[in-house]
A and B are shown apart, each in its own frame.
Chain A
Amino acid sequence: MGTSVSLIINGKTVTANIDPRMLLVQFIREHMQLTGTHIGCDTAQCGACTVFVNGNAVKSCSALAVQFEGAQITTIEGIAGANGEMHPMQAAFKECHGLQCGFCTPGMVMSAIDLVKRHGNSLSEQAIREGLDGNICRCTGYHNIVKAVQQGAANMKGV
């Protein structure tokens, strides 16, 4: 019945037979049990589901898993170091209190890393605010997220 798909998640190759309607985010959460990637909306607006596909940030709620045959997917679980030490962006979110309930956080961190990759390590407040347009946070008022991204970006130099 299902369709076969094979992709690489956080460095691990996975092959599965799935309902062709399965979204990438469902594949990640339900099939892989990687529940750090969240679902906050059904209109591709909130960014809670953001992951990397071949290095680029993608909203995993708005694509089918079968579209990603052979792709390299990185989720929030895949960005810390081998011994669990946090990525500089994760560390900056903690240091700057850039999260409260934590639900938007994985998507925010992924988008923030993507922003640095695209725009470099020194980011203005305005660039960060505009760059995070696809991610909604209801808790923090963004003030500390902006500070965190600025600090995380600076600390990502040479990473």
Chain B
Amino acid sequence: MNAPEKAQSAIGASVRRKEDYRFLTGGGKYTDDVTLPGQSYAYFVRSPHAHAKILKINKSAALKAPGVIAVYTGDDTAADKMGGLPCGWLIKDVKGEPMKEPPHPPLAQGKVRHVGDQVAVIIAETYNQAKDAAELLEVDYDVLPAVVDAVEALKPGAPQVHDGAPNNRCYLWSLGDKAATDAAFAKAHHVTKIDITNNRLIPNAIEPRAALAHYNRADESYTLYVANQNPHVERLLMTAFVLGLPEHKVRVIAPDVGGGFGSKIFLYAEDVIVTWASKKVNRPVKWTADRSEAFLSDAHGRDHHTHAELAMDKDGKFLGLRVKTIANLGAYLSTFGSSVPTYLYGTLLAGQYTTPAIYVEVDAAFTNTTPVDAYRGAGRPEATYVLERIVSQAAREMNLDQAEIRRRNFITAFPYQTPVALMYDIGDYKSCLDKAQKLADVAGFPARRAEAEKRGKKRGLGYSTYIEACGLAPSNIAGALGARAGLFEAGEIRVHPTGSVTVFTGSHSHGQGHETTFAQVVAARLGIPVESVDVVHGDTGRMPFGMGTYGSRSIAVGGAAIMKALDKIEAKGKKIAAHLLEAAESDIEFKDGKFTVAGTDKSVPFGGVAFSAYVPHNYPLDKLEPGLNETAFYDPGNFTYPAGTHIAEVEVDPETGVVQIVNFSAVDDFGNIINPMIVEGQVHGGLAQGIGQAMLENCVYDQETGQLLTGSYMDYAMPRAADLPSFKVDTHVTPCTHNPLGVKGCGEAGAIGSPPAVVNAVIDALAPLGVKHLEMPLTPERVWRAIQGKPTKVA
């Protein structure tokens, strides 16, 4: 194959990460690490109430406090005609009417709608001075009754969050053929029914959100450093919809970003306010969230209540699936909040199965809680949880083995058109399941279960055979479904005269390791060492454009854009080489970093061509521009469909309800793999978040007052090292058929596949004790109560 030194940069090699040295030695540059001369500090005054009218705000004491530069409220933003924060996806309801889109003001306009809602901003010389002055801001509230639960919010007589959204309904949406589904149920041999909750989560990237804005009066330009996953999208939304600024005068830089998981996709009020305020005070303005603010103001995830029914024939073949979900959107529509419980959820309900008829309805409610939006998986974990729980329950009711019922229903022929709009291009679900069963040593499970039984412990095995739709998205399809943005990606390959390369990508790395993976792609293609390739991302001043990183899209869409730019580099390189080698362009081949005249030993290395492009003394100047620098935009032809099998093995102590995950095995099909080490790391991280949801994490609001009860790491159970097992992970490859790298994306799979595997395993363990149902998180108390036959009512 390759020479050893080349193997180092080859696709498929676990190249150690280029970014690690800076992170390991304290050289990372996150937003809060950036200091600008003369910077001031912003502190946001937030609502202590879940729902209240603002009667009066008196700034005078706060304005007189030491170090205070300015105090702004909603009156000031209204006077400057600041727009509301936009929602990027228009959902049409069952009647074809547009969803209700109540205003989302960056600073409250007369009313607050969740604890933590922004009421005012104080700008001062130091952070402590701003915080001290916040204590002096007098706000008179008229407290209103609050509603935090989506089911309650939709009931008649519930407190109304927005005047413009009667009954707190944003939309009632549906997908699928209702008549066909009803017909399928009419001929069913058995129907399995389930009511489940997908618990609300708080993303908790360890770097809190931060924003530092600078206005330059000399050229009327703005620079915003912000912890964000998609700086071009941030800029577009902020300039076009909220501040009305000329886009070309605003540079958004998302430097090193300490994790996102979705929560840093969105345009937040704080980003807008510091940008606006930096001009008003004519000073750089910095805001960094403390963790308590992050709990209150980062968009939350999940929060679904679902009733589902699965119709089967006598052999356990699925005939139809009916799903009714109530989704909590929080107090306002966050940037992509409307799309998560609809097009990222309902479309996934076919899973890996041939279910011919599916109908889903989603009732989406406003409540007095923090807005809910995409969190690792975004809609797909919710769909997978419904489907994989009901399938396992169906197996128990039909007396079928957990794996067998899945096998009987797997899709085996591709491409496959689901009844819920997606066209799966390729997959091999059976092989993933087989491989996962070996990895989990399912054959040895009965013996392990018997051994545990002797110790008084209950062992169980749980499956989840999940699918996800990644690589968002064909822009025309997304547009037809209501997306207000394109979903392509851009990439630029800048070859330097000496043959080294800088890659500019619109994807954004906040832990994913693009600086290494993308460098591998480029190095392998150009036949140069990975050290000769640098990847730059996260700066609207440097990238041609970018839609950013979310939905496991970076390699599938961003990588494809880079490949397209490389095609152009190669094509131009061939023209230059043909001239240098005095041959016909059609005779030039490019391989292993050399342009060769086919069938001869006449060749010129890539670096030689690059040099000629920039020192064009011997160059076809009459036919060709100098330089070797190409940009490409790539719009995907379809979604990609990563899929796999996750198997959890648990041991439960029936005396205490304590659950231990003794084994977790995952076999995923991500298509081709560029860097297996990085891919495994992504799976590990996703699993930790999925297992965290299943075992530990739960966002809880007080039902009466709407106070967030889990607002710190003392109350919100983040998975720690001792809470998790080591994972067994492997892959099975069916290359994606419609992108140049054959890749599908791997960032979310762990969080999507794992929760039902864990819950199914615990139910499997406790089924002999009569336990049929459990809700996440599986705290010892909940499990113990279920064993006692007194299930906990879920908040």
Contacts and interface: CB of A to CB of B under 8 A. Distances in A.
A130 B291 contact: no
Majority DSSP secondary structure for residues of B touching A = loop
Contacts of B506: none
Interface string A9-37: 00000000001010000000110011111
B714 A138 contact: no
B20 interface: yes
Interface string B82-108: 000000000000000000000000000
B712 interface: yes
Given A138-B205, A141-B688, A144-B681, A90 B722 contact: no
Contacts of B346: none
B27 A136 contact: no
B26 A76 contact: yes
Contacts of B14: 97
Q: How many A residues touch the partner, as a band? A: 35 or more
Q: How many B residues touch the partner, as a band? A: 35 or more
B23 A97 contact: no
Majority DSSP secondary structure for residues of A touching B = loop
Interface in B13-32: 14, 16-17, 19-30, 32
Nearest to A147: B726
B688 A38 contact: no
A27 B506 CA distance: 36
Contact of A138 (B24, B128, B204): B204
A97 B678 contact: yes
B206 A136 contact: yes
Nearest to A107: B206
Given A21-B128, A129-B721, A136-B718, A101 B510 contact: yes
A21 to B, nearest CB: 6
B416 to A, nearest CB: 32
Contacts of B510: 101
Contact of A40 (B24, B206, B512, B687): B206
Contacts of B27: 36
Contacts of B205: 101, 103, 138
B360 to A, nearest CB: 31
Contacts of B291: 40-43, 46
B292 interface: yes
Given A101-B259, A142-B721, A136 B713 contact: yes
A41 B712 CA distance: 8
A99 B681 CA distance: 9
Given A39-B32, A99-B24, A101-B256, 4 more contacts: A97-B16, A106-B26, A138-B689, A141-B684
Interface of B: 14, 16-17, 19-30, 32-33, 35, 126, 128, 204-208, 256-259, 261, 288, 290-292, 510-513, 677-678, 680-681, 684-689, 712-714, 718-722, 724, 726-727, 750
26 contacts: A30-B35, A36-B26, A38-B30, A39-B288, A41-B712, A42-B291, A77-B25, A86-B25, A90-B24, A97-B677, A97-B681, A99-B24, A101-B256, A102-B20, A102-B256, A103-B207, A125-B726, A135-B721, A136-B206, A138-B204, A141-B686, A141-B688, A141-B719, A141-B727, A142-B721, A146-B726
